[in-house]
A and B are shown apart, each in its own frame.
Chain A
Amino acid sequence: MSGINMIVCCKQVPDPEAPPSLFKVDTAANKMVTASDVKPVISQYDEFALEAALRIKDKMGGKITVLSLGNKLVRDVIKKSLAVGGDELILLEDEAFEESDSWSTAYALAAAIKKIGEYDLIFCGRQSSDWDAGQVGIGIAEILGIPAVTLARKVEVADGKTNIERVIPDGYEILEIAPPVVITVTSELGTLRYPALKGIMAAGKKQPIVYKPADIGLEPGQVGAAGRHTEISKLFQPVKEAKCEIIEGETPEEAGVNLATRLREAKLL
Chain B
Amino acid sequence: MAENKGILVYGELTNGQLATITTELLGCGRKLADNLNEELSCLLASDMIGEASKEAIAFGADKVYTIEEPSLKQYQASSYIQIVEKLVKDISPRAILFGQTAIGRDLAPHLAFRLGVSLATDCLGLSIDPDTKLLLQTRSVYGGNAQATFVSKLVPHIATVRPKAMPPLEHDDSRKGEVIPTKIEIDMSQVKAKVVETVKEEISGIKLEDAPAIVTGGRGIGGAEPFNTTLKELADALHGAVGATRPPADNGWVPEAIHIGLTGKIVAPDIYIAVALSGASQHIAGCSGAKHIVAINKDPEANIFKEAEFGVVGKYEEVVPALTKKLKEILAS
* Partner-B contacts on A (CB < 8 A): 16-17, 19-20, 23, 25, 32, 101-103, 106, 126-127, 129-135, 138-139, 141-143, 147-151, 163, 167-178, 181, 186-188, 190-191, 229-238, 240, 242-247, 249, 251-257, 259-264, 266, 268-269
* Partner-A contacts on B (CB < 8 A): 77-78, 101-102, 105-106, 109-110, 112-114, 117-122, 136, 138, 140-152, 154, 192-203, 238, 246, 249-250, 256-257, 262-263, 270-271, 280-282, 292, 294-296, 300, 303, 305-315, 318-323, 325-327, 329-331
A residues near B270, Cβ cutoff 8 Å? 268
B residues near A237, Cβ cutoff 8 Å? 145-147
In angstroms, how far is the closest chain B Cβ from the Cβ of A174? 4
Chief secondary structure at chain A's binding surface: mixed
Chief secondary structure at chain B's binding surface: mixed
A-B contact pairs, 21 of them (CB 8 A): A16-B142, A20-B144, A20-B145, A23-B142, A132-B122, A135-B119, A138-B110, A147-B192, A151-B102, A172-B199, A187-B250, A191-B250, A230-B152, A232-B149, A235-B146, A235-B149, A243-B309, A257-B323, A260-B330, A261-B330, A269-B327
A244-B249 contact given A130-B142, A251-B318, CB 8 Å threshold: no
Known: A169-B102, A252-B315, A261-B326. 15 other contacts (CB 8 A): A16-B143, A132-B140, A132-B142, A135-B112, A138-B113, A139-B109, A174-B195, A230-B118, A232-B149, A236-B146, A244-B310, A246-B312, A259-B319, A260-B329, A269-B330
A150 touches B314 (CB 8 A): no
B306 touches A163 (CB 8 A): no
B109 touches A135 (CB 8 A): yes
B residues near A242, Cβ cutoff 8 Å? 306-307
A148-B330 contact given A126-B263, A244-B309, CB 8 Å threshold: no
B257 touches A129 (CB 8 A): no
A102 to B250, CA, bound (A): 27
A259 touches B323 (CB 8 A): yes
Pick from B292, B305, B306, B323: contact of A268, CB below 8 A: B292
Pick from B146, B196, B200, B322: contact of A23, CB below 8 A: B146
Leading 7 A-B pairs by shortest Cβ distance: A256-B322, A260-B326, A252-B314, A142-B113, A252-B318, A229-B118, A256-B323
